[in-house]
Each structure stands twice: as C-alpha cells, then as structure tokens.
C-alpha cells in the first residue's frame, strides 16, 4: 500500500533515476484537502510516497516523459482560477464535497497539457488541447522524433462552450492532436 485516503484516479511514470512520479485525483477529499496530490517515491523506497497537495483536480491523469521532462494531460476547470478546492472550511467535509462537485459540474472544462516538476512536486499549465464540455480521458502514442499523438474525447468543438454537465448530456467526438516536443528539451 503506497497511499490510503480520498485519492482515486492515478497515473505514474518511472523517473530517469528509477523512482516514481505520480498524480492522484483527490475528489473525495482527505481531511480538509480536495483536488489532487503530486507524489514521488525514491528508487530505494518505491513504496514510500511523499506527496504534495494541489487544490486543482486533474481528472483522468495521463503522465508521460518526453524531451527529458514529465508531462501530464488532464482535465482543467476554467472558473475559479482552476481550483477544485474552494477553501469552504466552514462547511462539513460532506458539505464541501457536494458544494465542490456542484461547482465543478457547472463549470467549463478543457483537456490540457501540464508540466510536472518532480523535485518540487508542482504542476504548471502549458496549453489547452482542442476540447470543450465533457472532455479529457486521454491516451498517447509516440510517433518518434519528439512527436506525440494525444487521443481524447470532447463535446463537439463547434457546439459552443458548454459546462461539463451540459456536455455530459450531449454527443461527444474523438480528437487526435499531434504535439511536437522536440524543442522542449
């Protein structure tokens, strides 16, 4: 067991030194923290994860390494500066969970590329992929020479900019985006 708590969807990659770097969605909340955790395990202690809390929630995280750096593709909330945890600590844990969920469902989303700093355990937004509404359950495929395909689903790109919940009630489409990481090293 490397983690017990409110975290659910998790992805991880091996680091160049043989350790592990992971991003875990913390939608259910642990204590008074909701959002995500960015974690690392050293090569000599792969079962001993050190985690840092992030108040954003990266749904369906996809981690990969390219150009000597670690990248994350995950869903991004456009409102509230991207925060899932809105610091409503005057509410009970259960009330916070439902308030954050309702806010999340009613907000607009993007499927986004982020960079993960494995030393600081932080995540920085890089760019949005073509996406809207109900989106972001990505997969990737290397094309070699620093080119990577990201496959994803999204509400129609020409159908306005619906909230996540409104997007759930409509059709979706599959997108394919090629990203060139050759200059990122």
pLDDT digits (tens, 9 = 90+) for 66-90: 999 999 999 999 999 999 999 999 9
Per the domain annotation, does 185 fall within a domain? no
Q: Give the pLDDT of residue 72.
A: 98
Name the pTM for this structure: 0.95
Per the domain annotation, does 146 fall within a domain? yes
Strand ordering across the sheet containing 33-41: 10-14, 20-30, 33-41, 50-54
Per the domain annotation, does 144 fall within a domain? yes
**pLDDT category of residue 101 using cuts at 50, 70 and 90:** very high
Of the candidates 53, 90, 69, 38, which has an alpha carbon nearest to the alpha carbon of residue 181?
69
Average pLDDT score over residue span 153-178: 95
Q: Total structural domains in the chain?
A: 1
Burial of 177 (0-12, 13-18, 19+ CB in 10 A): middle
Per the domain annotation, does 122 fall within a domain? yes
Average pLDDT score over residue span 28-34: 94
Evaluate if residue 2 carries a pLDDT over 80.
Answer: yes
Evaluate if residue 42 carries a pLDDT over 80.
Answer: yes
Per the domain annotation, does 118 fall within a domain? yes
Place of tokens 């607009």: 108
Q: Give the range of the structural domain holding residue 96, as residue numbers without chain letter.
A: 10-180
Evaluate if residue 51 carries a pLDDT over 80.
Answer: yes
Per the domain annotation, does 39 fall within a domain? yes
Per the domain annotation, does 3 fall within a domain? no
Per the domain annotation, does 2 fall within a domain? no
Evaluate if residue 168 carries a pLDDT over 80.
Answer: yes
């Amino acid at each position: 067991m490397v983690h017990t708590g409110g975290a659910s969807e998790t992805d991880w990659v091996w680091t160049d030194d043989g350790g592990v770097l992971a991003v875990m969605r913390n939608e259910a909340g642990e204590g008074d923290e909701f959002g995500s955790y960015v974690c690392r395990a050293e090569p000599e202690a792969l079962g001993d994860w050190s985690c840092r809390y992030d108040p954003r929630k990266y749904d369906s995280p996809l981690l990969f390494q390219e150009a000597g750096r670690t990248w994350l593709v995950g869903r991004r909330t456009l409102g509230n500066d991207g925060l899932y945890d809105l610091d409503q600590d005057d509410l009970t844990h259960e009330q916070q969970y439902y308030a954050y969920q309702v806010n999340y469902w009613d907000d607009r989303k993007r499927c986004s590329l982020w960079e993960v700093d494995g030393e600081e355990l932080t995540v920085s937004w890089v760019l949005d992929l073509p996406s809207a509404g109900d989106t972001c359950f990505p997969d990737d495929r290397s094309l070699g020479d620093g080119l990577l395909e990201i496959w994803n689903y999204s509400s129609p790109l020409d159908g306005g900019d619906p909230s996540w919940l409104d997007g759930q009630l409509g059709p979706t489409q599959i997108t394919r985006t090629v990203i060139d990481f050759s200059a990122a090293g």
